[in-house]
Amino acid sequence: MTGSGPVAGATAEVVEVTGTGPIGPYTLLRVAAGGIEPGIPGQFFMLHPPGHVLPRPMSLCRVDGGELCFLIDAIGPGTRTLCALKAGERLHVLGPLGNGFDLDVPHPLIVGGGIGIAPFPYVAQVLGGGPAILGFRSAHHAEAAALLPGAEVALDPVLVTSLLPAEPMDVLACGPEPMLEAVRARAPQAQLAWEAPMACGYGACYGCVVEVDGRLQRLCVAGPVLRAA
Amino acid sequence: MSVSLLNGSGCLDALTAPGVAAQLDAFVTKTITPEPREGNPPVRIVETEAGMLNSIGLQGPGIDAFLTETLPRLAAQHLRVWVSVGGFSSSDYAGICERLEERDDVDVVELNLSCPNVDEAPESAAEIVAACRERTKARLYAKLSPANSDIAESARAVVAAGADGLTLVNTLRGMALDPATLKPRLARAFGGYSGPALKPVALACVLACARAVDVPIVGLGGVQSGQDALELIAAGASVVSLGTILFTDPAAPGRIRDELKCEATARGYGDPLEVRGVANG
Ligand SMILES: Cc1cc2nc3c(=O)[nH]c(=O)nc-3n(C[C@H](O)[C@H](O)[C@H](O)COP(=O)(O)OP(=O)(O)OC[C@H]3O[C@@H](n4cnc5c(N)ncnc54)[C@H](O)[C@@H]3O)c2cc1C
Ligand SMILES: Cc1cc2nc3c(=O)[nH]c(=O)nc-3n(C[C@H](O)[C@H](O)[C@H](O)COP(=O)(O)O)c2cc1C
Ligand code: FES
């Protein structure tokens, strides 16, 4: 584990925003990495939207030279503030946090739905490519598939699970809960990246619990990537 | 002697974040209950304009596993430990106090008399303190609710019943609605309101209690900076706790300790504690 600062494995730093840009309906936010390590794909970072009380969890989407990129869907006040940041503004970032994907698998297959594609460009960077199936609500949303060249794309009402190959693959999935449940039913060995509202991201608040093995556990500590079965 | 900085109960887990706990002068545990508790269903947290709501519902291992598993691990981290105690009757509280009595690794027992997320004990705060006082010689702090209509009177009553100190304040009950559906965002509808919005409430409670009783006061509620901490001390606190700020800034204890010193020096005080009571003039 690397990282410096009070949370083991993570670094807390105020970094500079280097720019933002639209990708379909989403925004790609770029920040100077500073001393922050990108970590393992599927781990996450807490980004603190200026003026808000709490930070927001975000997956690292891509590493470009000295920049960390986050793909953000503006669904509420915090994500809207993050997407409206301008180059030169400062942002408090803590991470990497949680457990990422185990990429040491023989046949990785990326399965992403909507904003759930966010962690996969970095997964593909680390894997050096690999097959991907992505599902989107509309052609406008599917513009984000450009982040994963070569990916197979399903548009509503076609479901990503209908494109899963017959032969067993090591599925790495992130997306809306119904999609993850459908993937879980098809691929018990899959690694699924879940979401929950989080206040701290490092095990302090007990706000992010989800049911794992029949018990309510903190997703930021036990996950966000969990084995399907 | 300088100002001690603690964490608010439930706002830090020293076992998962030992590096954050190590910056504090003492670690306050999440409230411990007689039996293990699963806590409330999610959604448990929501941000609001000037604070946050939590409805954790005292998730925890219960006193048995706390004594056999958690406490030895905290002791191994060389932390001074304050144990926050909760329950649903005075005998719940007193029973836990008795169990803790055998342990010399507990610095202070803080009685959480004010959790807005679970049903309250039928007895008054003073009755609970009195029942605990009979069963323990440990230092007992009473954590009171800011929703109390006459907190000074409560302070007098718990001190008369044997409390050695006060912790002020817990969260206020609040609710947030989803703007689209107009349904509550928390699964349990209500939650405890904490963060910046609580600071003026905490200042008023600390001052009112400092005028009413002569015991140490732990001040907390919305502290984000050394300036906020200094204001609580001016109102009468001798110890300051950090809650919600730890979620955004896990380095807050070190930062706020430094800022506190600077803020005191800038006003001509050698030590932040010299400010104690200045607001009460
Ligand atoms: C580990 C992790 C990684 C994430 N990565 C990304 C990412 O790369 N890109 C991205 O755009 N988003 C990501 N998210 C989701 C993102 O954190 C939330 O969308 C964000 O916190 C919402 O904040 P807000 O203030 O904009 O909206 P809020 O006002 O908080 O929420 C608006 C609506 O969304 C719901 N909601 C809020 N937070 C969540 C959540 N975490 N999961 C499900 N529903 C929620 C609320 O109940 C509400 O209905 C991730 C979440 C987690 C836990
Ligand atoms: C997520 C969360 C959990 C909490 N759990 C407890 C608890 O178990 N026992 C308790 O006495 N107070 C609990 N509190 C209240 C805090 O200790 C503190 O009194 C309150 O948050 C005000 O301080 P702040 O504004 O700095 O957060 C909790 C607060 C939060 C935000
Ligand atoms: S987000 Fe606070 S414990 Fe997981």
User: What CATH number corresponds to the domain at position A35?
Assistant: 2.40.30.10
**Residue B246 covered by a domain:** yes
Give the gyration radius of chain A's Cα atoms: 17
Q: What is the mean pLDDT of chain B?
A: 95
Cβ B83 vs Cβ B32: under 8 Å: yes
Q: Which of A198, A210, A217, A226 to mutate to test the pocket of ligand 3 (most atoms within 8 A of CB)?
A: A198
Ligand 3 atom closest to the Cα of residue A220 is 4
Of A192, A75, A216, A80, the C-alpha closest to B187 is A216
Ligand 1 touching residue A28 (CB < 6 A): no
**Residue B70 covered by a domain:** yes
Query: Tell me: the pLDDT tens digits for A74-85?
Result: 999 999 999 999
Q: Which residue of B has its CA nearest to A203?
A: B16
**Residue A217 covered by a domain:** no
**Residue A116 covered by a domain:** no
Q: How many domains does chain A have?
A: 1
- Mean pLDDT for A220-227 is 95
CA of A56 from ligand 3 middle (Å) equals: 11
For helices B199-212 and B226-235, what crossing angle results, to 10°? 30
**Residue A42 covered by a domain:** yes
Structure tokens at B280: 């009460």
Q: How confident is the model at residue A214 (pLDDT cuts 50, 70, 90)?
A: confident
Structure tokens at B175: 């609710």
C-alpha–C-alpha distance, residues A110 and A117, integer Å: 9
C-alpha distance from residue B149 to each of A160, B4, B154 (Å)? 57, 29, 9
Q: Which residues of chain B are under the pLDDT cut of 50?
A: none
pLDDT score at B117: 64
- Ligand number with the minimum distance to the CA of B46: 1
Of B103, B107, B101, B100, the C-alpha closest to B80 is B107
Find residue A2's DSSP bridge partners: none
Placement of tokens 């993850």 in the chain: A180
C-alpha–C-alpha distance, residues A206 and A198, integer Å: 9
pLDDT score at B80: 95
N residues, chain B: 281
**Chain A, chain B: beta-carbon pairs less than 8 Å apart:** 111
In the annotation, is B115 catalytic?
yes
**Residue A19 covered by a domain:** yes
pLDDT score at A145: 96
Q: How many CB atoms lie within 10 A of CB A104?
A: 7
Q: State the catalytic residue, choosing from B115, B132, B205, B209.
A: B115
**Residue A200 covered by a domain:** no
Query: Tell me: the pLDDT tens digits for A143-192?
Result: 999 999 999 999 999 999 888 888 889 999 999 999 999 999 989 889 99
**Residue A107 covered by a domain:** no
C-alpha triplet A106, A112, A114: angle, nearest 5°:
170
Q: How confident is the model at residue A3 (pLDDT cuts 50, 70, 90)?
A: low
Q: How many CB atoms lie within 10 A of CB A163?
A: 14
Residue of minimum CA distance from atom 31 in ligand 1 = A76
**Residue B280 covered by a domain:** no
Distance of CA A90 to the CA centre of its chain: 22
Structure tokens at B34: 């007689």
Alpha helices, H only, A21-133? 77-83, 120-127
Query: Tell me: the pLDDT tens digits for A66-112?
Result: 999 999 999 999 999 999 999 999 999 999 999 999 999 999 999 99
For A:184-213, CB contacts with B below 8 A are 196-200, 202-210
C-alpha–C-alpha distance, residues B151 and B157, integer Å: 10
Q: How confident is the model at residue A37 (pLDDT cuts 50, 70, 90)?
A: very high
CA of B180 from ligand 2 middle (Å) equals: 29
pLDDT of A1 above 50: no
For B:181-200, CB contacts with A below 8 A are 195-196
Q: How confident is the model at residue A212 (pLDDT cuts 50, 70, 90)?
A: confident
Find residue A93's DSSP bridge partners: A13, A47
CA of A161 from ligand 1 middle (Å) equals: 23
A222 part of contact set with chain B, CB < 8 Å: no
**Residue B74 covered by a domain:** yes
pLDDT score at A213: 82
Of A110, A102, A114, the C-alpha closest to A129 is A110
Q: How many domains does chain B have?
A: 1
**Residue B279 covered by a domain:** no
**Residue B19 covered by a domain:** yes
Across the interface, do A7 and B250 touch by the CB < 8 Å criterion? yes
DSSP at B136: -
**Residue A102 covered by a domain:** no
- Mean pLDDT for A207-212 is 93
Domain of B40 in residue numbering reads as: 4-274
Structure tokens at A19: 């720019």
Q: Assign residue B263 the CATH number of its domain.
A: 3.20.20.70
C-alpha–C-alpha distance, residues A224 and A191, integer Å: 10
CA of B56 from ligand 2 middle (Å) equals: 10
Domain of A62 in residue numbering reads as: 2-97
